[in-house]
A and B are shown apart, each in its own frame.
Chain A
Amino acid sequence: AQSVTQPDIHITVSEGASLELRCNYSYGATPYLFWYVQSPGQGLQLLLKYFSGDTLVQGIKGFEAEFKRSQSSFNLRKPSVHWSDAAEYFCAVGAYTGTASKLTFGTGTRLQVTL
């Protein structure tokens, strides 16, 4: 069965600093990978996705992520964080389970941005 691990529960960065959120997945085949963001009191919003091809994918709000098959990772990055980026970030893997397709989410990383 597929799984996603986000090893950092909580990260604090200063505004303007760079950001990297870690994500490791477990899946037997080529995965479909996603990053979603959840602002307080809101639903999740898709930031970016990887299906195939170029391993560096660009998303909304200046985010990017790199798929590294050898490391089973799909880390999210942003060169300069803004205060409005404070939110919870979820990595997810999309896979067929044998009976249905589903997204499996990690436990999330809460990002705090200090001014």
Chain B
Amino acid sequence: QVQLQQWGAGLLKPSETLSLTCAVYGGSFSGYYWSWIRQPPGKGLEWIGEINHSGSTNYNPSLKSRVTISVDTSKNQFSLKLSSVTAADTAVYYCARGRGGSYPGYYYYYMDVWGKGTTVTVSS
């Protein structure tokens, strides 16, 4: 049973850098997309970005200038850094495993394993 365990600082001041790590237990690291998603209080889910086992990344264009996602395959871990945080970055941050593929004529993508979430508050 694959599990994702995430951790990182929960209280930041404006302009600091958010740093979170997600460890993958009980399953392979290769062959999947590893994503970060956030959810501001009372709002919906926002995809931040993803990385695969070889280090190839995709980012949400709205956050791309401030986001770095990296991977450490030796530890089965991936990490998120978000620089220059403001109060608007206050949210619950989730890590998740993504899987994709295709049928004839159609593609599919889904996130089947999620971390429990880390609450990050940005306040002076």
A and B associate in one complex: no
**Chain A residues with a Cβ under 8 A of chain B:** none
**Chain B residues with a Cβ under 8 A of chain A:** none
